[in-house]
Amino acid sequence: MVTIKYFVHGTTTDNEKHISTGQLPGELSTKGIQQGIELAHTIKDQHFDIVFCSDLTRAVESAKLNFYNRDIKIIKDKRIRECNYGDYNGTAYEIIDKKEFINKRLPNGESMIDVQKRIQSFCDMLKKKYDGKIVAVVAHKHSQLALDVIANGKTWEQAFKDDWRNEHKWQAGWIYKIK
């Protein structure tokens, strides 16, 4: 079994403009940088064997801030990227309801099932290489929802309904057990 402690990247300039960045790099805002520094202090006494982050800029920047004061390896992995919104990368939140795209791909993008397959591949690798370890992951919304489906047995509909973002109930990491 692998224990994942999942951290979402800090607030981005796109978040502040209500833009869905998708697989564009994104950039942390001043608030996002501060969040990363504060999280580093909050988790400073927690043990992690390794850190993985999405290869998108906003996740890489967050991981560096979250773990800046540690001698710990940070590995970028494109499998834990945000959903590819295709034609909707970089557009206003309101333009698209991603729940419509659980099984159907966004135009020139992915479906939530595609994201789930990427995250499942990542989890399978963790089970093989990091059994018994505590792994920190810094990534995105739909990657986390896919973990809710994989690790907690939720449907996509339930994962969307239970998403902490609906109630603005951020916390300093979420625990997932991958068996």
Q: What is the pLDDT of residues 107-157, one digit of tens each?
A: 999 999 999 999 999 999 999 999 999 999 999 999 999 999 999 999 999
User: What CATH number should be reported for the domain holding residue 57?
Assistant: 3.40.50.1240
Helix (H) / strand (E) containing 119: helix 112-129
Nearest to 82 by CA among 112, 50, 44, 38: 112
Give the predicted TM-score (pTM) of the model: 0.95
Q: For 22-59, give one letter per residue: b (16+ CB within 10 A) or e.
A: bbbebebbeebbebbeebbeebeeeebebbbbbbbbbb
Which domain range does residue 153 map to?
Answer: 2-178
- If one counts the domains in the chain, the total is 1
Amino acid at 128: K
The DSSP 8-state label assigned to residue 12 in this structure reads B
- Model pLDDT for residues 44-70, shown as the tens digit of each residue: 999 999 999 999 999 999 999 999 988
